[in-house]
Structure 1
Amino acid sequence: MSYPGGQLSEEKVFKDPVHRYIHVRDKIIWDLIGTKEFQRLRRIKQLGTTYLTFHGAEHSRFNHSLGVYEIIRRIIDDVFVGREHWDHSERLLCLCAALLHDLGHGPFSHSFEKVFHLDHEDFTQAIILGDTEVHAVLKRMGDDFPQKVAEVIAKTYQNKLVVSLISSQIDADRMDYLLRDAYYTGVSYGNFDMERILRVMRPREDQVVIKRSGMHAVEDYIMSRYQMYWQVYFHPVTRSAEVILTKILHRAKTLHEEGYMFRTHPHHFYSLFTGQVMLRDYLKLDEAVILYYFQQWQDEKDEILRDLCRRFVHRRLFKYVEFSPTNEQMKKLMELTALFKKAGIDPDYYLVVDSSSDLPYDFYRPGEEGERLPIYLLMPNGELRELSRESVLVDAISGKRRTDHKLYFPDDFLQDFSTKRTTKKKILEILEG
């Protein structure tokens, strides 16, 4: 199976702050990068609302996708070539799946998906298999090639080694986003020795394994991931912005269902509101479109929508306090809800519990929800050993899920003199207690 044009007459390179250079030698990759569906990723931020916490986090899913492609290219062209268990005929399939793995992300990805019950992986497959420029490029490799790429991304492709390169507990996707997100947020937590990990990767029948001599580099990678989640991805200020973003979308949807007449009609949202999202409508959505509506809705008649949009646009975020869903805390939440209503503050939009949870590493636990393929070490005698059996550090955190809860609210509303003094006092006593 070959692509018309094969290799480019001259290698193309992208300057990249993480990998220095991203090399493109295959015409199919160059053609995919030029499609309108892939170019759309320039207008989708990699880290959603994180730019409101870390001002450098303006990078896009476009440069992350290029980064994942480059890591995979290095693995299969420099490390795997000529090794047992690696079928080099799968090379272009791997490269295309790596490049396109995030193709279906929407604006402010996960918050957007949560409100409208969408799944970016479903849209990724729909773009690959639908009437798109991406599909037309892939089909030049053969009628079944788009389906193979979609299967790799869906983790259903028959060659599990190919899948593990792009989706596993130590894959190209995670390695790129940790390094890239650390670079753009200006933190050091996400840095680890990727060069060492790539050198000690080895192909096996069903997945990538790591030489025993590279165990400490993998430990460093896992701890970097742990730190990035709690210091960056789950940062409470970022979560405050996500709470407001989510409530804006909920409010707009509710107003539409109630027949509210918007001053700026949300034409781009209509299919989302009805739950009948067509691919052509979805591809018109990016963060510039969403922010346009937020700008316009600052002047809407509806007080809640107007206020939430002003908060998001001008970064007037909610305050937060620690919250634990114990019986006692839940009673306090019910009391707060009643007091907010008494004060004329809608608790559905202005009193929000947000929870974040992460499992930094786990191994296969039969029958348990969220089973994970473990990381295996290749021992000097050829035996495979699960990572936590060799690493005291990884064993200490294996299977241990950490969860954090915060209660978000608008502190400025509580300082409003129109709120009755006794009500305000009770609210503050509960929040501060």
Structure 2
Amino acid sequence: MEKVFRDPIHDYIYVQDQVILDLINTKEFQRLRRIHQLGTTSFVFHGAEHTRFSHSLGCYEVARRITDSFERNYPTKTPGDGLWNNDERLVTLCAALLHDIGHGAYSHTFEHIFHTDHELITTQIITDPQTEVNQALRQISPDFPTKVASVISHDYPNPQVVQLISSQIDADRMDYLLRDSYYTGTNYGNFDLTRILRVMRPYKNGIAFQISGIHAVEDFIVSRFQMYVQVYFHSVSRSMEVILGHLLQRANELYQSERANNHQRAFQPHYLMPFFDENFSLTDYLKLDDGVLNTYFLQWEDDEDPILSDLSARFLGRIPLKSAQIKEPTRSLLPELRKLVTEAGFDVEYYTAENDSYDLPYDAYDPTSKKPRTQIELMQADGSLVELSTVSDLVKSITGKISSDERFYFPKEMLVNTDNNLFSDTFAAFQAHIKNNLIR
């Protein structure tokens, strides 16, 4: 059998195995159509409406092309020779397709507020006998769901398979850089996918790249760096994440307060209540998507609580907080700025925030780090391996360098002309601090 999906990034996505089609048709996978890939980024780049569904299909397609290339060019001949054993093909493709199935509504912000873990939930969806995903996988063998889950949890015994799904150059990153670049209308994430796949090869301990393809690998690393700086860490997108987080936090705190006082609100967000109670099941989790939360926000626009109502209106109406970059010499100003925001009538817990963005665009392997990254190995003509940053001045220049941006978020009203405002002196003092000491 062969089915195809038309795709703006890969042209055609080829499905050649019944189990892949069965997985795509499960209700758990179809749910990913209702979860945006980039969360609040669409408030900045209006084309970024693509979903976890399309990215997951794209990740599968990249993995399929890799495994086909490995089987064609590097098939194993003797056990332990470090070449590709095509018996690993199906577990690789299933893991690639399902790697993001545990993402929730507005996933990263939701995770922060309600302490969920999308990777843990991914493995639960795969291994829970009640899910359609698990039932589809068990058609291969009773232990097949556990094998697929172990790839995602990095416990699978074949490092080649794990690195195809999760490493510094993997099927996941290769698809989302190209896809996110396309849908945001930017060019930062473009790189030579064809060349990368051509120079990619298996070896005993994982995946390497022929040294002749070093420039394509460098281009990938720089593209990833640019996407984080220009798109993923965009200050306005982060502002909308702050509002979303404060909105969910306020709803949760109101619920806890009213439950303690035996008071029930007129509107109950039933699908969120298990998370307020910190007692949710996998079924509860899978009922949530971006649309469900947005419907609650529409309801909360009319809520009697002025903060919940206002934050809902700000989020749905795209009214971001303004921000200023925090530098160490000006960090001491933050208490004064919060005091001025309070004097202007805003609750600083919900209308201000310090927000960090940190990323390592490339880091050589450090086994002592909390989450050691798999380093990028280049294979030389004699078969020996060298780590990328030791032979690339370009990559060496950013190895271990943290791309960071710390910002102070505050209501945009603090920058409005307030000549007739009762607190005009407060606003003037705030604006003077921002103008003279912080970089907007």
Q: TM-score range by the shorter chain?
A: over 0.9
Q: Partner of 1:22: helix, strand, or coil?
A: strand
Match in the other structure for 1:365:
366
Match in the other structure for 2:343:
342
Q: CA deviation at 1:419?
A: 4.7
- Is the Cα contact below 8 Å between 2:70 and 2:84 reproduced in 1? no
Distance 1:231 1:138 in 2: 39
Q: Does 1:254 align with 2:253?
A: yes
Q: CA deviation at 1:336?
A: 1.8
Distance 2:185 2:236 in 1: 16
Distance 1:78 1:171 in 2: 15
TM-score, with length taken from structure 1: 0.95
Distance 2:369 2:135 in 1: 40
Q: CA deviation at 1:291?
A: 0.3
Distance 1:265 1:366 in 2: 48
Distance 1:117 1:157 in 2: 26
Q: CA deviation at 1:59?
A: 0.3
Superposition map of 1:16-35 within 5 A: 16-35=7-26
Match in the other structure for 1:72:
63
Match in the other structure for 2:116:
118
TM-score, with length taken from structure 2: 0.93
Percent sequence identity is: 51
Q: 1:320 aligns with which of 304, 310, 323?
A: 323
- Is the Cα contact below 8 Å between 2:41 and 2:232 reproduced in 1? yes
Q: Partner of 1:169: helix, strand, or coil?
A: coil
- Unaligned runs of 5+ residues in structure 2 are 77-82
Superposition map of 1:280-299 within 5 A: 280-299=283-302
Which ranges of 4 or more aligned residues in structure 1 deviate by more than 4 Å? 416-419
Q: Does 1:310 align with 2:313?
A: yes
- Is the Cα contact below 8 Å between 2:192 and 2:216 reproduced in 1? yes
Q: CA deviation at 1:401?
A: 0.8
Q: Partner of 1:299: helix, strand, or coil?
A: coil
Q: Partner of 1:267: helix, strand, or coil?
A: coil
Structure 1 residues 48-91: Cα deviation after superposition (integer angstroms, max 9, x where no partner): 01111001000000010000000111111133345232111111
Distance 1:69 1:96 in 2: 8
Q: CA deviation at 1:276?
A: 1.6
Distance 2:349 2:330 in 1: 18
Match in the other structure for 2:406:
405
Superposition map of 1:143-162 within 5 A: 143-162=142-161
Distance 2:139 2:197 in 1: 31
Q: CA deviation at 1:264?
A: 2.3
Distance 2:367 2:48 in 1: 39
- Is the Cα contact below 8 Å between 2:75 and 2:86 reproduced in 1? no
Match in the other structure for 1:94:
92
Q: Partner of 1:45: helix, strand, or coil?
A: coil
Match in the other structure for 2:183:
184
Superposition map of 1:48-87 within 5 A: 48-81=39-72, 82-84=74-76, 85-87=83-85
Q: CA deviation at 1:329?
A: 2.9
Q: Partner of 2:156: helix, strand, or coil?
A: coil
Q: CA deviation at 1:414?
A: 5.7
Q: CA deviation at 1:389?
A: 1.0
Q: CA deviation at 1:197?
A: 0.5
Match in the other structure for 2:331:
330
Distance 2:87 2:422 in 1: 69
Structure 1 residues 386-408: Cα deviation after superposition (integer angstroms, max 9, x where no partner): 01111111111111112101111
Distance 2:387 2:271 in 1: 48
Deviates more, 1:411-420 or 1:360-369: 411-420
Distance 2:124 2:280 in 1: 12
Match in the other structure for 1:129:
127
Q: Does 1:212 align with 2:204?
A: no
Q: 2:107 aligns with which of 81, 90, 109?
A: 109
Q: Partner of 1:333: helix, strand, or coil?
A: helix
Relative distance call for 1:263 and 1:419 in structure 2 (3 A) is farther
- Is the Cα contact below 8 Å between 2:44 and 2:236 reproduced in 1? yes
- Is the Cα contact below 8 Å between 1:352 and 1:408 reproduced in 2? yes
Q: Does 1:41 align with 2:44?
A: no
Distance 1:267 1:101 in 2: 28
Distance 1:37 1:213 in 2: 42
Match in the other structure for 1:202:
201
Deviates more, 1:270-279 or 1:43-52: 270-279
Q: CA deviation at 1:263?
A: 3.5
- Is the Cα contact below 8 Å between 1:356 and 1:403 reproduced in 2? yes
Structure 1 residues 158-213: Cα deviation after superposition (integer angstroms, max 9, x where no partner): 11110000000000000000000000011011000000000111111221100010
Distance 2:170 2:139 in 1: 28
Q: Partner of 2:301: helix, strand, or coil?
A: helix
Match in the other structure for 2:396:
395
Q: Look up the equivalent residue of 2:199 and give its one-letter code.
A: V
Q: CA deviation at 1:366?
A: 3.6
Q: CA deviation at 1:413?
A: 5.3
